Amino acid sequence: MARKFDAIVIGTGQAGPSLAARMTKEGMKTAIIERKLFGGTCVNVGCIPTKTLVASARAAYMARRGADFGVVIDGAIGVDMKRVKERKDGVVRQSNQGVTNWLKDMDNLTVYEGHGRLESANSVRVNGDLLEAGRIVLNVGGRAFVPDMPGLADVDYLTNSSIMDVDFLPEHLIVVGGSYIGLEFAQMYRRFGSRVTVVEMGDRLIGRDDEDVSDAVREIVEGEGVDVRLGAECMSVEKRGGGVAIKVSCDDDSPDEVEGSHLLLAVGRLPNTDDLGLDKAGVETDGRGFIKVDDKLGTNVPGIWAIGDANGRGAFTHTSYNDYEILVANMFDGDRRRVSDRILAYGLFIDPPLGRAGMTEGEVRQSGRAALIGKMMMARIGRARERGETQGFMKILIDAETEKILGAAVLGIGGDEVIHSVLDIMYAGAPYTVISRATHIHPTVTELIPTMLQDLKPLE
């Protein structure tokens, strides 16, 4: 006999626990299902552990730069990878336990640990138990995409998840994929002391961004000793001694190879929808397996919603949480919030970081609208010079008719924080003059945004 609930949430990633808390607060008898780790990707193998590792890598990098600041450190700088991992594990454990305890102690919530699969439009089976509810929310997240690369089945490789278990220093780490995840690990392990080669199929790094951003990011990582190999269209791998060799050329007569000790795949993400029973409930997906949702996150099946990475409407922790906010606003608050109201914003957490909001310069050009552009190199900014971190630049694009901000990129010290002063004005729908006439604190990076806005040029 089925056990009856008012709502069932599958997945405890960023949006799931908060949704369960709100549902139970509304008096709904709720079940939440987790097949593996409470907290999902971000807590366990994503944002929290990787940024903890980035912090350790930065500490090593800055220690080696001590002399630049007049700081004398006797002896070589070493990295104890076991202690680095222990620190990361401790931070993750705190977050994971926080989510786990919150859910298991929540009134009116039943927690199931197992793989939940849809049996129909209003039922889910987990561990042999059949659960029924009038509302089902799918928050199943995603996983690393493993490409169909010749020879891959015969070699050992790492993903963003499995590399979390590494407590040693790879002699030479080959990273396949020159985008956000790959670049974070590339710089991180180079700073730990590994040789690192990034192999990218495209003709530049982070291909979704503008060329000047891509070029600057490449300059940053190459400046720290990361080898970047672009245009690797015919990749194949094989065992080579105790390590791995990857072919990066289409020319069989003159093969170009990179040999390394370890291989990390960072070539994209897949939604966890292939073993969810979507067909039994009639839930539609797109060609990539993402669950189709409307502007209020409803699927084609009444009573079933999809939030987080699996719906293809965002690929970040912050968009997943915003999905939760949109869902409960419509479900409980009579607030007609929409996914289409969201402004694209994200960060690349190399050091220094990239903060992005809205349209790229390329997208603005393609739109054909009249626009203005402002740009300022970080080398002009006092805070960057004081910190000895002058890499990168700020760039902003303005609609010439409405004077509203179309997009911005801040690559440089504090870029992941500075971008929010622009993003908030965009959400307010205010003209750029609100910032250009503002008085900001000195000495900061953000104080130069008004200066940049006072020197706009037509985008030609």
Q: Where are the beta strands (DSSP E) in 75-223?
A: 109-113, 117-120, 123-126, 129-138, 142-144, 172-176, 195-199
| Adjacent-strand bridge partners of 265 | 176
251 pLDDT above the threshold of 80: no
Domain 345-458, what fold?
A: Enolase-like; domain 1 (3.30.390)
Which of 376, 413, 381 is CA-nearest to residue 395?
376
Please name the residue that has the structure tokens 């450190």: 73
CA 162 to chain centre: 17
Instruction: Tell me the per-residue pLDDT of 280-324, one tens digit each, with 9 for 90 and over.
Output: 999 999 999 999 999 999 999 999 999 999 999 998 999 999 999
pLDDT-above-90 percentage for the chain: 96
Report the top-level CATH class of 3-142+270-341: alpha beta
Per CATH, is 152-267 categorized as 3.10.129.10? no
By CB atoms closer than 10 A (0-12, 13-18, 19+), residue 386 is exposed
Tell me the C-alpha distance between 249 and 279, whole Å: 41
Q: CA separation (Å) from 374 to 83, 195, 432, 455? A: 44, 37, 11, 6
- Under the banding of pLDDT at 50, 70 and 90, the label for residue 148 is very high
**Does pLDDT of 250 surpass 90?**
no
Residue 255, pLDDT > 70, answer no
Q: What is the pLDDT of residues 352-394, one digit of tens each?
A: 999 999 999 999 999 999 999 999 999 999 999 999 999 999 9
Q: At 293, is the secondary structure helix, strand, or coil? A: coil
Give me the count of residues in the chain. 460
Q: What is the per-residue pLDDT across 95-130, written as a single tens digit (0 to 9) for each? A: 999 999 999 999 999 999 999 999 999 999 999 999
Q: What would the pLDDT profile of 261-286 be if each residue is shown by its tens digit?
A: 999 999 999 999 999 999 999 999 99
pLDDT at res. 249: 82
Q: Which of 88-92, 138-142, 239-243, 403-407 has the weakest average pLDDT?
A: 239-243
Q: What's the confidence (pLDDT) of residue 252? A: 66
Q: Is the pLDDT of residue 137 over 70?
A: yes
| pLDDT value of residue 233 | 85
**50-61: average pLDDT:** 98
Domains 152-267 and 345-458 agree in fold: no
Tens of pLDDT, residues 209-220: 999 999 999 999
- The set of residues, in sequence order, having a beta carbon less than 8 Å from that of 64 and lying 6+ positions away, is 77
Single out the residue of 9, 264, 284, 291 nearest to residue 142, CA to CA.
Answer: 291
Residue ranges of alpha helices (H) inside 107-259 are 180-192, 211-223
- Residue ranges per structural domain of the chain: 3-142+270-341, 152-267, 345-458
Contacts of 262 (CB under 8 A, 6+ apart): 156, 158, 170, 171, 172, 173, 174, 243, 244
pLDDT value of residue 1:
84
